[in-house]
Structures are given as structure tokens and as C-alpha cells.
């Protein structure tokens, strides 16, 4: 039966499907489950969903009577799922170059933070910036991410701390989400730092009693859409008790828990996250063995951030142990003024070299597992019939070209995001 389709990608050297198993994918199984089709083609329908994937000759026979709005010859190239960046702070003003010099001279991240720099410095500048200025810089950053292959990205607020600026940041994120084409998962991170003059308990009270009800009101009016709630659970920032109260209140509003934990000090954040049913916990350089086991059981994913461990000279998160224990390991760039990385291929490269992940594991962590961390693995993160036509074509004959050569030579790539239609 003849019919029309949006896109035919034909004759790819490799189509790397990164098969999801149900809703999730353990990167541990990546070597066995990474389905790589050689000499294959892929069809996306006019509704924006993948219709078929298979050997090029089989697809040609099956669709011989049908028409395509666009055909792309992918000979010698690889088709991969669009990359998913599971942790970023992309809305801010004010450079922190001077802090790099301080760090090189021996200052730690927390010493700078406690002296009023770090996040607090960025808060001052972000409060002063106009909404338009923040939107323009966000757009530029998102475009750079897309040029490096990211098609879905988590975006946090958290450089406002007060309600006014947190809402300004969330409006900016909402505007970018509506504008597209990059997919956005929005995170309220009002507990990124304790505002000057307040205790953590007072800041938590303010968030629970004032910020969260306002988010609920704006959400029900369709003005902003927030997916996740985040807290920086760290010694000298939000302790375990305040973290618990904030996360639980966010969860009660229907937000997914996705927070910073066990980064600089062991806090038992992983244990708390598992107990609360967190979708994701980020950083985890200092996670305990018990925390790893609890995350595996609770299916709380670990979002590892190789750029931060590198920039701050932290010990590496124990990716191998997490993978062996069955934790769903994802990756994020942690793009922020301290770790200025917009490239997921670079993140995968660092994960391979510094965290000893294999290339298939790093690819699964930057696609299906990162989509899982954002609660979107049913629509994103793998190439499967019925999922969104959200993919990249890389100019390399093997998917590893994306991660192995990225430091020395940016592999050129093309993004294909077919918009969803209502038909």
C-alpha cells in the first residue's frame, strides 16, 4: 500500500539502536544489548515517530511504493539516537574566570563558595541580568550543545535562590522549551545554595511554603512547566534533613526527584534518594557502598559528571562499581560557569578515559540511561520503532568515532529532529 513518509535515511554503515529493555537500560549490559545494524536504513513518519529500521535492502523492498519528503544517503556514516545531557545549569550571567586562577593556586570549590564566590557570585549577576539577556545566552548555549549532538537536555534554575529570580530563570527555560527544536526537561533548583543571611532550615521553609506553591499555581495556569526538583545536598549547603523536606515537598507536587548528592563529602545522599524514590542522583564521587546498593534496588539512576571531577580534581566517581552493582548509569555535562562544557562527545570521552567506562557503556549512558534519568526513556534515547525521530548522523564509519576522536578532531554530525505532528 502506497503512502507518504517524512524521512528516509538510507544505506548507513551502522545504525546504532541502543535497545531499551522496557523503560530502562543498564549500561552494564551495553556490550550485549547495543544492537548495531550494518548497511541499514531508517524511516521516520510524517507524525515524527520512527516507522521502520532494518537492512537497507529489506527497507527498500518494503517501502518501494512509498514516497518520502526527504531522503538522505548515509553511506559511510552512522545513525545514532540524539544525545541526552542529563545535568546542566545553562541560565546564568557573569564569568568566573578569576576563580579558575584561585583554584589553580590551591583554593577548593567550597573555600571559594564559603567566601561568597562560586554559586553566590553567579547568583548576584543572574539577579541583575534581564530576562532577554538570559534568554539570548541560553539560546546560544543550547545551539552549541546541539551542534555537538545533544537533542534533549535537562536545564536547571538555581542562580536566583529568591522567588523572583528563580521564576525569571524558569520562564527563560520555558521559552526555550516552547521554541525548540532541542528538547528540554526543566528543573527547579532553588535549593542550590543557602541565601545570605538565612540558615538552611529557613531557606527550606521558604522554598516549601512560598516557592513550591507558586510553581504549582503557574503550572496549573500553563505558564511554566517544571519536571524535576533539585537540591545541592552538601556539607555547608543543604544538610540531609533539609534536603529530605524539600525533595519530599516537590515529590508531593508531582515533580521527579533529581538532585546533587555525595559530591564533596559523603552525605548518605544516595541512601536518601533511594528511599524517596529519586529518579536520578548526580555527582556521587563520595557515595558509600550502601548508597550504591540502595540506588540499584530503587532504580534511582546515577548521573555522573566527568567534567566536574576533572575541573575540581575530585576523586572519580566509581562508575565500574556502580555498573557492576546494576545501577543505571547516565552522563551529564554539568555545564555551568565552573565547568564550561557543552559537548556530550567530550563527556563520553572523559567517562571512557577517567572513569573507565567502555565506549558502548558511555554511549548508553549518554542516550537511553540519560533519558531514563529524565523520565523520558519511553520516547527518547534509543532508535526503536514508535520512538521519536530524534537522531544524529555522524560522519564516521563507527559509532566510537564520536567518543574516541572528539578531543583531537570534532567529528562532523548532522541532527535530524522530526517535529511531532498531531495527525
* Residues 187-246, interacting with ligand NIG (CB under 6 A): 232
Lay out the site mask for ligand NIG across 353-392 (x = CB under 6 A, - = otherwise).
----------------------------------------
Under a CB-based contact definition with an 8 Å cutoff, are residues 168 and 131 in contact? yes
Asked if 300 touches ligand NIG (CB under 6 A), the answer is no
Q: How far is the CB of 14 from ligand NIG (least distance, A)?
A: 33
Task: Please report which residue ranges of 231-380 form alpha helices under DSSP H.
Answer: 240-252, 269-276, 289-298, 306-311, 319-325, 344-355, 359-365, 368-373
Distance separating alpha carbons of residues 333 and 339, to the nearest angstrom: 8
Q: How far is the CB of 85 from ligand NIG (least distance, A)?
A: 13
Under a CB-based contact definition with an 8 Å cutoff, are residues 139 and 175 in contact? no
When the beta carbons of 92 and 399 are compared against Fe ion, the nearer one is: 92
DSSP labels, 76-109: T-EEEEPEEE--B-----S--HHHHHHHHTT--H
Query: Which residue number is nearest to Fe ion in terms of Cβ?
Result: 334
Asked if 13 touches ligand NIG (CB under 6 A), the answer is no
How many residues make contact with ligand NIG (CB under 6 A)? 12
Asked if 41 touches ligand NIG (CB under 6 A), the answer is no
Asked if 406 touches ligand NIG (CB under 6 A), the answer is no
The binder of ligand NIG chosen from 48, 90, 118, 401 (CB under 6 A)? 118
Nearest of 38, 39, 52 to residue 7 by alpha carbon? 52
Report the 10 Å Cβ neighbour count for 122.
23
Asked if 90 touches ligand NIG (CB under 6 A), the answer is no
When the beta carbons of 10 and 230 are compared against Fe ion, the nearer one is: 230
Task: Please tell me what DSSP assigns to residue 207.
Answer: I
The binder of ligand NIG chosen from 338, 367, 369, 377 (CB under 6 A)? 338
> 228-233 and 183-191 as β-strands: parallel, antiparallel, unpaired?
parallel
Give the footprint of ligand NIG on this chain (CB under 6 A): 89, 118-119, 122, 232, 260, 263, 308, 334, 336-338
Amino acid at each position: 500500500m502506497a503512502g507518504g513518509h517524512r524521512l528516509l535515511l538510507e544505506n548507513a554503515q551502522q545504525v546504532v539502536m541502543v535497545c531499551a529493555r522496557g523503560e530502562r537500560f543498564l549500561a552494564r549490559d551495553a556490550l550485549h544489548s547495543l544492537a548495531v545494524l550494518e548497511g541499514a536504513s531508517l524511516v521516520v513518519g510524517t507524525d515524527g515517530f520512527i516507522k521502520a529500521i532494518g537492512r537497507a535492502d529489506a527497507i527498500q523492498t518494503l517501502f518501494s511504493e512509498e514516497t518520502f519528503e526527504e531522503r538522505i544517503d548515509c553511506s559511510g556514516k552512522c545513525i545514532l539516537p540524539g544525545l541526552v545531557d542529563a545535568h546542566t545549569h545553562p541560565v546564568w550571567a557573569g564569568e568566573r574566570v578569576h576563580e579558575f586562577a584561585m583554584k589553580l593556586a590551591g583554593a577548593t570549590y567550597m573555600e571559594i563558595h564559603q567566601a561568597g564566590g562560586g554559586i553566590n557570585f553567579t547568583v548576584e549577576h543572574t539577579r541583575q541580568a534581564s530576562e532577554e539577556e538570559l534568554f539570548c545566552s541560553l539560546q546560544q548555549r543550547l545551539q552549541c550543545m546541539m551542534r555537538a549532538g545533544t537533542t534533549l537536555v535537562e536545564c536547571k534554575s538555581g542562580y536566583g535562590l529568591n522567588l523572583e529570580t528563580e521564576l525569571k530563570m524558569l520562564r527563560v527555560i520555558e521559552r526555550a522549551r516552547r521554541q525548540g527544536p532541542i528538547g528540554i526537561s526543566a528543573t527547579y533548583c532553588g535549593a542550590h545554595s543557602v541565601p545570605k543571611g538565612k540558615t538552611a532550615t529557613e531557606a527550606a521553609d521558604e522554598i516549601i511554603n512560598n516557592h513550591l506553591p507558586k510553581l504549582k499555581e503557574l503550572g496549573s495556569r500553563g505558564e511554566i512547566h517544571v519536571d524535576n526538583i533539585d537540591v545541592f545536598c552538601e556539607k555547608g549547603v543543604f544538610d540531609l534533613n533539609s534536603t529530605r523536606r524539600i525533595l519530599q515537598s516537590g515529590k508531593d507536587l508531582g515533580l521527579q526527584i533529581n538532585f546533587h548528592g555525595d559530591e564533596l563529602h559523603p552525605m548518605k545522599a544516595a541512601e536518601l534518594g533511594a528511599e524517596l524514590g529519586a529518579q536520578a542522583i548526580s555527582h556521587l564521587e563520595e557515595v558509600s557502598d550502601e548508597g550504591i546498593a540502595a540506588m540499584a534496588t530503587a532504580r534511582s539512576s546515577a548521573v555522573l559528571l566527568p567534567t566536574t571531577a576533572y575541573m575540581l580534581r575530585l576523586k572519580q566517581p566509581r562508575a565500574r562499581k556502580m555498573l557492576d552493582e546494576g545501577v543505571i548509569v547516565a552522563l551529564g555535562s554539568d555545564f555551568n560557569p565552573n565547568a564550561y562544557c557543552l559537548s556530550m562527545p567530550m563527556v563520553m570521552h572523559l567517562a571512557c578515559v577517567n572513569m573507565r567506562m567502555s565506549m558502548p557503556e558511555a554511549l548508553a549512558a549518554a542516550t537511553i540511561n540519560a533519558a531514563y534519568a529524565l523520565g523520558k526513556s519511553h520516547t527518547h534515547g534509543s532508535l526503536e520503532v514508535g520512538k521519536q525521530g530524534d537522531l544524529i548522523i555522524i560522519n564516521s564509519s563507527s559509532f566510537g568515532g564520536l567518543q574516541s576522536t572528539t578531543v583531537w578532531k570534532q567529528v562532523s554530525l548532522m541532527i535530524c529532529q522530526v517535529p511531532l505532528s498531531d495527525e
